[in-house]
Structure 1
């Protein structure tokens, strides 16, 4: 079972800000020993780059590859998106024109060995969406959650929407456990641009992988 504490949370979401979906895991408790603070600030994607610089190389037309050799993960992001530094996240990239189009990666310590230890995909996804990935003021809906494996690692991926008074964000997330860490990658776009962006965002999710370090 997943349990979360909202004490000390800070929620500030404005559609006009650079990317209105950011999570900073800092007050979330996954079981007894895993307490981290959560602040949800606009954007959904924030970061403190305390690791060594990313190693980027174009691996697919229109995308660049980011590899974090310290924390043990990699993913593709669309060419032209910019890396930004926002407190609370490990990596953040965003579109310079569309504020809701962004990627965030969060890495927190865990004593769990497998993402399945937290429960089935739908249960874990619903809890993360309601308690971490969207402010309590937003209306959220889980569309789909599923499990897949690659190179001996288990991933949960899920799709959801979060509705605020002045915008709706359609998002995809991937989560996994490895190296004593809980990894969360979230990307999304304004609902009005979902039809145009969904394949591009799915490529990001499909590219996300963790590796042993």
Structure 2
């Protein structure tokens, strides 16, 4: 994941807001070069966050979201950041992205087709039944997002999720929050805060050479 460096190699600056304050981690500095990434401070680094939540901001990859303050970070295969409930393993948030030549989600197929394909062909395994509960489009600071709520039912268990997608910086971002279906009614509002908080922002880099 890109949240914190796991080795002594320098990494681009990452800013994590904790209890209303901004903590900076690592600034990329190599011999003869300084790389700086700029994002609007007011919108992505030092804004007020909901009570009992913490904010994760990744300046290198251009996204942010909040998560419950009692959750812990963990590694989720093929994802760039992830946090989970300490006791309920199926309650988690994780984010991934892949390269794309698209500039906006409106460059994809119609919203309903995109969501149907993602749920039925990517998120569900062959023995799971799918049910899409709702789809919503929103726009924040000129960026467009599709959010959808859906259920995946297997013979032994059922899980319900929110997923939100967006495109920026040549990346197709996907953030998902989930819970066991039996816990969904109780957890839904808390998880909705997480998915609604997700934002992408443009990365601008300046390279200075000696």
TM-score, normalised by the number of residues in structure 1: 0.74
1:57 paired residue number = 18
Q: Provide the C-alpha distance between the structure 2 equivalents of 1:83 and 1:122, rounded to a whole number of angstroms.
A: 32
Match of 2:105 among 112, 115, 118: 115
* Mapped contact 2:76–2:94 kept (Cα < 8 A): no
SS in 1 for 2:117: helix
Query: Structure 1's 48 and 76: CA in aligned 2 closer, same or farther, altered over 3 A?
Result: closer
2:151 paired residue number = 161
1:97 paired residue number = 87
Structure 1: give runs of 5+ residues left out of the alignment. Answer: 1-46
Which structure has the higher relative contact order (CA within 8 Å, separation 6+)? 2
* Mapped contact 1:122–1:146 kept (Cα < 8 A): no
After the TM superposition, which residues 1-213 of structure 1 pair with which residues of structure 2 at under 5 Å, given as runs? 55-58=16-19, 59-213=49-203
* Mapped contact 2:99–2:170 kept (Cα < 8 A): yes
Structure 1 residue 54 displacement after superposition: 5.7
SS in 1 for 2:89: coil
SS in 2 for 1:60: coil
Structure 1 residue 147 displacement after superposition: 1.1
Q: Provide the C-alpha distance between the structure 1 equivalents of 2:130 and 2:172, rounded to a whole number of angstroms.
A: 23
TM-score, normalised by the number of residues in structure 2: 0.75
Query: Structure 1's 81 and 54: CA in aligned 2 closer, same or farther, altered over 3 A?
Result: farther
Runs of 4+ off more than 4 Å: 47-54
Structure 1 residue 56 displacement after superposition: 3.6
Q: Provide the C-alpha distance between the structure 2 equivalents of 1:86 and 1:48, rounded to a whole number of angstroms.
A: 12
Structure 1 residue 134 displacement after superposition: 2.4
Query: Structure 1's 192 and 120: CA in aligned 2 closer, same or farther, altered over 3 A?
Result: same
